[in-house]
Structure 1
């Protein structure tokens, strides 16, 4: 990967390029800075790409994400000192959403952890753990892990691996055609496959609310693999813009916007990431605060909003009370192509968090009215056992 320098005030920031950089440009991708990389924000337009993914299959380049391997004695127990999920209970080829927590119970990052079987393509042992973390946080995350985990825990950053996401109801048809066997996976499971002699690690997961897959593969094979996928009639390349609108409709938080170091899992409405055993045993950062909030001490909560009219409200808009005093804040917002209405996520006082509650928003001197609604805004379409 080569670097491209841009001036940012007095600092020079080096933007890294994805393994597929020239491929994106050749296909008309409009490149923008994101998480330290040059990434495609769109190809033919955000609305069209969003709707194509909901109806067919979209290919996303998410190689900016951090791919990490953890190994060593009792590596699962060691990770449980930093994550509130049941990592020890993960079976081989099983995935779990979890959170890297700070001492105050706030969130360093949200992430996915998978227990690797033998013959996984990463040349690591059965029982080791594969983790995908957010691109903008990966270097900080690696620093936290290296500082707080004991030396016998091995941490490898798979910086030569590309990561592609194929999302949408027709993703399984397209991928099965070139990688036979992937249709046997169900949501939150993963396995090793091969394509043209290249090892693939494929999970049935994603960030759109649709059925789909994430595929880790050697960076040098990424362009040929992307070409093979986009040769399928169901598949088009999709940019960051539609990725954001899709995840917003799916009610999925974005780190640095809806989650941060001051936000706890309970306030973020991510209580499902706190397994029963871990809640009872503790042993993760912020346990006392998180349990107290879970039992009724939380002050604010992340909620979904449908905004009246056609004008979307954006991140930073204020939630205000009857006197115009700010009591909360919008953290993500935009016009939802599938819903055909403006939607948003916001943190509001717990007393205002029930569905049906009327909310007043203030943005750039204008007042908007909204209603709290359950999330997701668009039903998830994950493929589970028996589907």
Structure 2
């Protein structure tokens, strides 16, 4: 899942790992209402380490929510365009909160966290699934708006819990599984991308999800805040693991072609224009019943005026958010995310262009510092995803 808009809030909060980051030499910056580590050794060094080994990211600013109750799936399907009722326990799905006009309020990850209750042979009871529960991870800058939206629209029979006493740590990279298996004694051996398990690691109750926002294989680990520093130390004791800051997280997610909330997707963009049609399950498109359905279906049927695309840019000068995109003398779009790709060693960007010009290979120009730079529509992701999907 995504991240969020830069901070504009006067009162800055601290993460559970704030002191830990400072001891590690992090440069801290305000982001999404928190002091966050932007880098330790340097963005490019940290980016490349994550691509080659395993990076530890603190994403505790994200909102962690639990929705419970017999009607939890039914109620969530009023707000999300994905199939929640058919999501099996332990499975994860990317989804969206959409408003009445079809605009994206936020993107999020939803996990069927319904617990398995072990049977008691002596008491003659069999194992069974507990009360329905769904674990949501939402963007940090949007979490209070999301909580308000959920509270407004969810039935009173459903309970919404903000897990504000939990930290969230992401371990990402090709050697993330090797390091985590060593620490967790092979508990995640059989997990594949978009699966989640609960695991008691000593006195630490953890939720481990095989997912992330770097395009690499990896895990997100929800842990009570009081144990976060001990867990971070234990993971960083592994030779493959180093702490990584927000700067490299952003360059990694851009190479992976993943949208950033508040930049690539906002309330002004709909799921079709944003190229997130996969989040609209076929059955839910046909059935409807979720907020924004009519507006989104209108765009789907008529076609969006613009689409989110990837762009490769000639030269060494990166194009940043807001840079205009031209076809000849006509402005046809704008950049929403851009930077220099450490992996490809060239500038890359994402942005919206007129749909007629969204085909791969279309030649355009991007204006940077009053200069027109040749650009070309490129397939996303820029760097292939390396998620572990099993054999």
Please classify the TM superposition score into its range, dividing by the shorter chain length.
over 0.9
Q: Is the Cα contact below 8 Å between 1:356 and 1:371 reproduced in 2?
A: yes
Write the distance in 1 (CA, Å) between the matches of 2:159 and 2:320. Answer: 41
SS at the partner of 1:303?
strand
Return the alpha-carbon distance in structure 1 between the equivalents of residues 337 and 116 of structure 2: 40
Give 1:368 deviation, angstroms: 1.3
Bigger drift between 156-165 and 142-151 goes to: 142-151
1:284, distance to aligned residue in structure 2 (A): 1.5
- Bigger CA drift: 330-339 or 174-183? 174-183
SS of the equivalent of 1:384 reads coil
Match of 2:288 among 277, 282, 287: 282
Residue of structure 1 in register with 2:202 after alignment: 196
Match of residue 73 from structure 1: 70
Alignment CA distance shift 1:126-1:153 (3 Å): closer
Q: Distance in 1 between matches of 2:116 and 2:368?
A: 53
Question: Which residue is equivalent to 2:120?
Answer: none
Q: What does 1:1-387 correspond to in 2, within 5 Å?
A: 13-118=10-115, 125-180=130-185, 181-323=187-329, 325-386=330-391
Greater shift, 337-346 or 69-78, is seen at 69-78
Q: Distance in 2 between matches of 1:344 and 1:13?
A: 30
Q: 2:69·2:132 contact (CA, 8 Å) conserved in 1?
A: no
Report the 3-state secondary structure (helix = DSSP H, G, I; strand = E; otherwise coil) of the residue aligned with 1:25: helix
Gaps of 5+ in 2: 1-6, 118-128
| Distance apart, 1:363 and its partner CA | 2.6
Query: Which residue in the other structure is 2:123 paired with?
Result: none
Q: CA deviation at 1:125?
A: 4.5
Asked if the contact 1:313/1:334 (under 8 Å) is kept, the reply is: yes
Q: How far apart, CA to CA, are the structure 2 residues paired with 1:118 and 1:147? A: 26
Please tell me whether the aligned partners of residues 306 and 373 of structure 1 are also in contact (alpha carbons under 8 angstroms).
yes
Contact 1:116 1:126 in 2 (8 A): no
Q: How many equivalent pairs are there?
A: 373
| Secondary structure of 1:60's aligned partner | strand
Distance in 2, matches of 1:19 and 1:178, equals 21
8 Å Cα contact 2:90/2:111 also seen in 1: yes
CA contact (8 A) 1:92 1:127 kept: no
Partners of 2:374 and 2:260 in 1: CA distance:
24
Deviation at 1:126, TM superposition (A): 4.1
Please tell me the root mean square deviation across aligned C-alpha atoms, in Å: 1.5
Contact 2:51 2:216 in 1 (8 A): yes
Deviations 1:63-98 (A, max 9, x none): 000000001232111111111000011000000000
5+ unaligned residues in a row in structure 1: which ranges?
A: 1-6
Tell me, yes or no, if the aligned pair for 1:54 and 1:169 is still in contact at 8 Å.
yes
The higher-RCO structure (CA 8 Å, 6+ apart) is: 2
Post-superposition Cα deviations, 1:270-324, rounded to whole Å, max 9, x if no partner, equal 010000110110111222222232234210000000000111000010112322x
So what's the TM-score if we normalise by structure 2? 0.93
- Choose 68-77 or 299-308, whichever is displaced more: 68-77
Deviation at 1:119, TM superposition (A): 5.5
